Amino acid sequence: MKERDDNPCRPRHFKPGPCAPAALDGPVKASLETSHTRLVIAGALFCLAFAVIGARLVEVAGFKAGDTRVAHWHSVEQQPQVSRADIVDRNGVLLATNLISPSLYANPKQIQDARSTAHALAGVLPDLSESEVAAKLASDKGFVWIKRQLTPRQEFEVNRLGIPGLQFEREERRIYPKGNLAAHVVGYAGIDNKGLAGIERSFDERLRDRKQPVALSLDVRLQYILRDEISRQITDFNAIGGMGLIMDVNTGEVLALVSLPDFDPNNPGTATPETIFDRVTLGTYEMGSTFKIFNTAMALDTHTATMASSYDATNPIHIGRFTIHDDHAQRRWLTVPEIFEYSSNIGSAKMALDAGIDRQKDFLGRLGLLKAPSFELPEIGAPLVPAQWHTVNSMTIAFGHGISVSPLQMATAVSAVVNGGVLHRATMIKEPAGEAPMGQQVMSARTSEEMRKLLRLVVERGTGKLAAAPGYLVGGKTGTAEKVAAGHYERKGLLSSFIGVFPITEPRYLVMISIDEPHGNKQSFGFATGGWAAAPGVSRVVQRMAPLMGIQPVDEDSPEIRRSLMVDSFSPSGRNVAAN
Q: Which residues are marked as active site?
A: 289
CA 178 to chain centre: 13
Q: Which of 108, 386, 437, 471 binds other proteins (CB under 8 A)?
A: 471
Instruction: Quote the least distance from Cβ 177 to other proteins, whole Å.
Output: 4
Member of 87, 118, 163, 181 binding other proteins (CB under 8 A): 181
Q: Which of 121, 457, 466, 546 binds other proteins (CB under 8 A)?
A: 546
Give the separation between CA 444 and CA 569, rounded to whole angstroms. 19
Q: Min. distance of Cβ 4 from other proteins in angstroms?
A: 15
8 binds other proteins per the rule CB under 8 A = yes
Candidates 43, 123, 142, 152; binder of other proteins (CB under 8 A) is 152
For 362, residues 6+ apart whose C-beta sits below 8 A from its C-beta are none
**159 lies in the binding site for other proteins (CB under 8 A):** no
Distances (CA, A) of 209 to 30, 86, 93: 75, 12, 21
Q: Which stretch binds other proteins (CB under 8 A): 32-40, 297-305, 437-445, 467-475?
A: 467-475
Whole-number Å distance between alpha carbons of 256 and 407: 13
Q: What is the torsion angle, in degrees rounded to the nearest 10, for the CA atoms of residue 520, residue 525, residue 528 and residue 534?
A: -110
Establish if 261 lies at the interface with other proteins (CB under 8 A): no
Q: Is 220 among the residues that bind other proteins (CB under 8 A)?
A: yes
Q: At 568, is the secondary structure helix, strand, or coil? A: coil
Q: Which stretch binds other proteins (CB under 8 A): 52-60, 284-292, 351-359, 545-553?
A: 545-553
> Rule CB under 8 A: which of 511-540 touch other proteins?
none
CB of 178 to other proteins, least distance (A): 6
By the 8 A CB rule, do 487 and 510 touch? no
Strands (E), 276-388: 310-312, 317-319, 322-324, 333-335
- Residue 80 in the binding site for other proteins (CB under 8 A): yes
Distance, CA of 147 to CA of 46 (rounded, Å) = 68
Size of the site for other proteins (CB under 8 A): 36
- Asked, as a colleague might, if the bond just before 407 is cis with ω within 30 of 0, I would say no
| Cβ atoms of 462 and 330 closer than 8 Å | no
C-alpha–C-alpha distance, residues 506 and 361, integer Å: 29
Q: Is 153 in the site for other proteins (CB under 8 A)?
A: no
Cβ closest to other proteins, residue 94 vs residue 429: 94
Work out whether 491 is an interface residue with other proteins (CB under 8 A).
no
Q: Which of 115, 148, 211, 221 binds other proteins (CB under 8 A)?
A: 221
Q: How far is the CB of 352 from other proteins (least distance, A)?
A: 38
d(CA 419, CA 509): 10
* 43 near other proteins, judged by CB under 8 A: no
Q: How far is the CB of 212 from other proteins (least distance, A)?
A: 15
| Contact status: 547 vs other proteins (CB under 8 A) | yes
Burial 219-257, CB ≥16 within 10 A → b, else e:
bbbbbbbbbebbbebbebbebebbbbbbbbbbbbbbbbb
- Asked if 53 touches other proteins (CB under 8 A), the answer is no
Which stretch, 40-48, 68-76, 113-121, 239-247, contacts other proteins (CB under 8 A)?
68-76
DSSP 192-252: TS-EEEHHHHHTHHHHHH--SPEEBS--HHHHHHHHHHHHHHHHHTT-SEEEEEEEETTT-
Contacts of residue 55, defined as CB under 8 A and 6 or more positions apart, other chains included, come to none
74 binds other proteins (CB under 8 A): yes
Judged by CB under 8 A, the residue of 75, 212, 270, 580 near other proteins is 75
- Minimum distance, C-beta of residue 180 to other proteins, in the bound complex (Å): 9
Question: Of 104-112, 171-179, 363-371, 395-403, which segment contacts other proteins by CB under 8 A?
Answer: 171-179
Query: What is the C-alpha separation between 310 and 296, in angstroms, rounded?
Result: 12
Beta strands in 81-235 (DSSP E): 87-88, 94-106, 144-147, 166-175, 188-189, 195-197, 214-215
CB of 176 to other proteins, least distance (A): 9
> Is the CB of 320 or the CB of 559 nearer to other proteins?
559
Helix (H) and strand (E) counts for the chain? 21, 18
The residue (of 352 and 459) whose beta carbon lies closer to other proteins is 459
- Under the binding rule (CB under 8 A), the answer on residue 213 touching other proteins is no
Sole binder of other proteins in the list 124, 175, 196, 577 (CB under 8 A): 175
- Looking at the Cβ atoms of 330 and 539, the one nearer to other proteins is 539
Which of 77, 127, 435, 557: binder of other proteins (CB under 8 A)? 77
For other proteins, which residue of 553, 564, 573, 577 counts as binding (CB under 8 A)? 553
Q: How far apart are CA 289 and CA 387, in angstroms?
A: 22
CB atoms within 10 A of CB 408: 28
DSSP state of 4: G
Residues in contact with other proteins, shown as a per-residue x/- string from 95 to 134 under the rule CB under 8 A: x-x-xx----------------------------------
The site for other proteins (CB under 8 A) is made up of: 8, 74-77, 79-80, 82, 93-95, 97, 99-100, 152, 175, 177-179, 181, 220-221, 223-224, 228, 469-472, 543-544, 546-548, 552-553
